[in-house]
Amino acid sequence: MAVVVTGPADDRPVRWRCEAVDGEARAGWLATPHGTVPTPCFMAVATCGGLKGVTAEQAKGLGQGVMLANTYHLALRPGAERVHRLGGLHRFAGFSGPWLTDSGGYQVFSLAAQRKIDEDGVSFRSHLDGSALRLTPEESIRIQRHLGADIIMAFDECPPSDAPEPVVEAAVGRTARWLARSVAAWRSEDGPGGHRHQALYAIVQGGTVPRLRAASAADALTHDLPGYAVGGLAVGEPLEARNVVLDQVVPLLPADRPRYLMGVGTPLDLVEAVARGIDQFDCVLPTRMGRHGIAYTDDGPLRLKRAEHAESTAPIDGATASEAGALPRGYLHHLLKAGEILGGQLLSIHNLAYYRRLMARCRAAIRAGRYAAFLAEFRSRYRE
């Protein structure tokens, strides 16, 4: 759980401190204006400011360290200005720990049918009502300032995994130009927030093309930012290709700054990426899969809607403490088949608890100098 501190020691609003290294895997502490959290850490996704099926108090009880919200969605409703008037994300959503906001760059990928890209920015047709929303690097930073997150992201272009190399190259170039504009907007003193209160992370793009990844990383490093993210993965590429990209890119990033892998993923994805030096993760899977009747365990996803669980008295996972953890599978099966909202809520809570425990085990293995063994054991057991 986040421990409240006064903030980092120097003028960077967010700092990462290394505690232990084992191979490329790192354990440390991420200090923010709203608390310090251990890393590697998993950041739960509260797209519109709230976790689906999980209250802020429940998230605190689970020891949730960082929450993530989305610029595009909150700009549409209720609007960044309203969130600001209501005290920013921390007071608005009732979660006083650290927040991170995505820039809206992921929606450039996920809402491709509803947007047009030009050099200045992106014009969206709202997925809610078709209304217009214009995001530029400057507007994305302005919105994120009003939302008040501790960590904000540069506006970027995320190409799909099957994009031709010239398309990926164009996206890398545009991401670099948009990063320079994002940095300039972040470093200006206009409006709330600003570089003394919010940390800006750059995003490295480039698909699975080594020269483009290297070029994007080199450009990002010229800005000397508080943190660096690897984007454009978990968009359709196989795990093996993702690991190749991480093996190339992560060593290019500063050893004294936090490293964030965006949108990833399954428990196996996480432990593989930790082995490659990643410190921060986010993904919708714990709550999304919970709502669909799936609980994560060391053996892989447990699909509780299946008939084989109807009369089972076994718990989901005796090692993970959660409200759902000790309940019989037969009861959870019943709730899900009956369409009771409680079923999905309980599994979402369990999955967040499982992810938190998984990250704690990763940190312990790194500190003990046995991460390679932990990874081998996890690989041998986990099955999708």
Each residue's pLDDT tens digit, 275-324: 999 999 999 999 999 999 999 999 999 999 999 999 999 999 989 998 88
Task: Let me know how many helices (H) and strands (E) the chain has, helices first.
Answer: 14, 16
Average pLDDT over residues 356-365: 98
Q: Using CA atoms of 169, 174, 175, 178 in order, give the dihedral in degrees to the nearest 10.
A: 170
Cα separation, 74 vs 98, whole angstroms:
17
Report residue 147 as tokens.
């939302």
Q: 15-283 architecture in CATH?
A: Alpha-Beta Barrel (3.20)
The single-letter code of the amino acid at 264 is V
Cα separation, 104 vs 68, whole angstroms:
12
pLDDT greater at residue 330 or residue 193: 330
Q: Using CA atoms of 2, 7, 8, 10 in order, give the dihedral in degrees to the nearest 10.
A: 170
Task: With CA atoms as reference, report the closest residue to 343 among 384, 301, 303, 307.
Answer: 303
Instruction: Write phi, then psi, for 344 (nearest 5 degrees).
Output: -65, -35
Residue 192 has pLDDT above 90, yes or no: no
Residue 196 has pLDDT above 80, yes or no: no
Question: Cβ(52)–Cβ(287) under 8 Å?
Answer: yes
Residue 334 has pLDDT above 90, yes or no: yes
SS3 289: helix
Cα separation, 259 vs 243, whole angstroms:
15
pLDDT at residue 251, as a whole number: 98
pLDDT tens, position by position, 14-38: 999 999 999 999 999 999 999 999 9
Average pLDDT over residues 80-91: 97
SS3 270: helix
Report residue 334 as tokens.
């019943």
DSSP 314-335: -BS-TTS-STTTTSBHHHHHHH
DSSP 65-102: --EEEEHHHHHHTT-HHHHHHTTHHHHHTT--S-EEEE
262-265: list long-range contacts, CB under 8 Å, 24+ apart: 262/102, 262/106, 262/203, 262/229, 262/230, 262/231, 262/233, 262/234, 263/106, 263/231, 263/233, 263/234, 263/235, 264/233, 264/234, 265/234
Residue 85 has pLDDT above 80, yes or no: yes
Cα separation, 85 vs 244, whole angstroms:
45
Confidence class for position 5, pLDDT limits 50, 70, 90: very low
Cα separation, 38 vs 29, whole angstroms:
4
The single-letter code of the amino acid at 192 is P
SS3 22: strand
DSSP 3: B
Average pLDDT over residues 51-65: 94
pLDDT at residue 9, as a whole number: 43
Residue 191 has pLDDT above 80, yes or no: no
pLDDT at residue 197, as a whole number: 87
pLDDT at residue 323, as a whole number: 87
pTM for this predicted structure? 0.94
Residue 155 has pLDDT above 80, yes or no: yes
Task: With CA atoms as reference, report the closest residue to 221 among 235, 202, 234.
Answer: 202
Please measure the distance between the N-terminal and C-terminal CA atoms of the chain and give it in whole angstroms. 29
For β-strands 41-45 and 280-283, DSSP reports them as parallel
User: Nearest-5° angle of CA 25, CA 227, CA 232?
Assistant: 80
**Percentage above 70 pLDDT, the chain:** 96
Averaged pLDDT score across all residues of the chain: 94
Report domain extents, the chain: 15-283
* Catalytic residue annotation: 102, 282
pLDDT at residue 11, as a whole number: 72
**Percentage above 90 pLDDT, the chain:** 91
**Cα–Cα distances in Å, from 50 out to 16, 54, 149, 216?**
26, 8, 14, 33
Question: Cβ(187)–Cβ(139) under 8 Å?
Answer: no
DSSP 164: -
